[in-house]
Amino acid sequence: MSLIKVTDLSLAYDTGRAVTELNFEVNDGDYLCIVGENGSGKSTLIKGLLGLKKPQGGTIEFSDGLKQTEIGYLPQHSSIQKDFPASVWEVVISGTQNADIGYRPWYTQSQKATAQSWMEVLGIEDMAKKGYGELSGGQQQRVLLARALCATKRLLLLDEPVAGLDPLVTQDMYAILRTLNHEKGLSIVMISHDIQSAVQEASHILHLHNTMLFFGSTAHYVSCSVGRRYLGGEQQ
Ligand SMILES: Nc1ncnc2c1ncn2[C@@H]1O[C@H](COP(=O)(O)OP(=O)(O)OP(=O)(O)O)[C@@H](O)[C@H]1O
Ligand SMILES: [Mg+2]
């Protein structure tokens, strides 16, 4: 079943159009990688999917049962997040507020249990009391992933989750995402500049260049001209 269906979508800023004429679907269990050069509209599209940016044209439809507020989101890294003055526990559990109806100044037992269990899955439960700003980049990304997981049971949107991570930590992150996709049945939409890993990990590829250069299965992408060119000919 289709979780998200995007039809003729355009998103724009005052300064001009960011992305136009997008047509694609995300189905239950998909692992979609969004690739493309800097400034090609990837983060803007994610903001559109989250409802943070209104379409200038076209539509974004969600399947029944999936609310926009029940999507787990890991934003593109910024220096502000790196010094965020909160403990690991506070950052992770704040993800549960997303799925809740309205804001409450306390957390329920079930929200606490959700945060605790995702921290255990990601192996960060021992860091609960540490300041988020004291962690390494790889640890911070795990914390942000745990936060995103607290917000959803079905769909994760990840904006460059491995940017700036060393190769080993990057492989750990991919292994975690693979498990979440294969074993926990979560659908994943991930922006990445790591094209080689994208074609290894993802089931589908969306290649943007302010418009859509390609959308389809990874197997099709690696054999089509757009994909072969972007992959530097290595998969020919
Ligand atoms: N807040 C904004 N106001 C005006 N223009 C913006 C804004 N955010 C992005 N843009 C412009 O929209 C276009 C797409 O930006 P976007 O951030 O979506 O690109 P991206 O593909 O995520 O790039 P990167 O790989 O560098 O993260 C760019 O031309 C950018 O300058
Ligand atoms: Mg971006």
Which is more confidently placed, 104 or 205?
205
pTM of the model: 0.93
Q: Which ligand is nearest to the CA of 45?
A: 1
Which is more confidently placed, 108 or 100?
108
CA proximity to 186, closest of 150, 134, 231, 224? 150
In the structure, what pLDDT confidence band is assigned to residue 67 with cuts at 50, 70 and 90?
Answer: confident
Distance 43 CA to ligand 1 centre (A): 7
Cα-based angle 130, 132, 135 (whole degrees, multiple of 5): 80
- Report pLDDT digits (tens) over 110-139: 999 999 999 999 999 999 999 999 999 889
CA proximity to 124, closest of 163, 87, 165? 87
Measure the CA–CA gap between 30 and 216, rounded to whole angstroms: 11
Q: Report the relative pairing of strands 212-217 and 16-27 from DSSP bridges.
A: unpaired
Domain range annotation of the chain: 1-66+156-164+191-236
DSSP H or E segment with residue 66: none
**What does the pLDDT read at residue 148?**
94
CATH architecture assignment, domain 1-66+156-164+191-236: 3-Layer(aba) Sandwich (3.40)
- In the chain, the N- to C-terminal Cα span, in Å, equals 32
Distance of CA 45 to the CA centre of its chain: 11
Q: What burial class does residue 210 get, using C-beta atoms within 10 Å of its C-beta: 0-12 exposed, 13-18 middle, 19+ buried?
A: middle
Measure the CA–CA gap between 72 and 148, rounded to whole angstroms: 4
- Report pLDDT digits (tens) over 146-187: 999 999 989 999 999 999 889 999 999 999 999 999 999 999
Measure the CA–CA gap between 109 and 170, rounded to whole angstroms: 33
Mutate which of 33, 44, 73 for ligand 1 pocket (most atoms within 8 A of beta carbon): 44
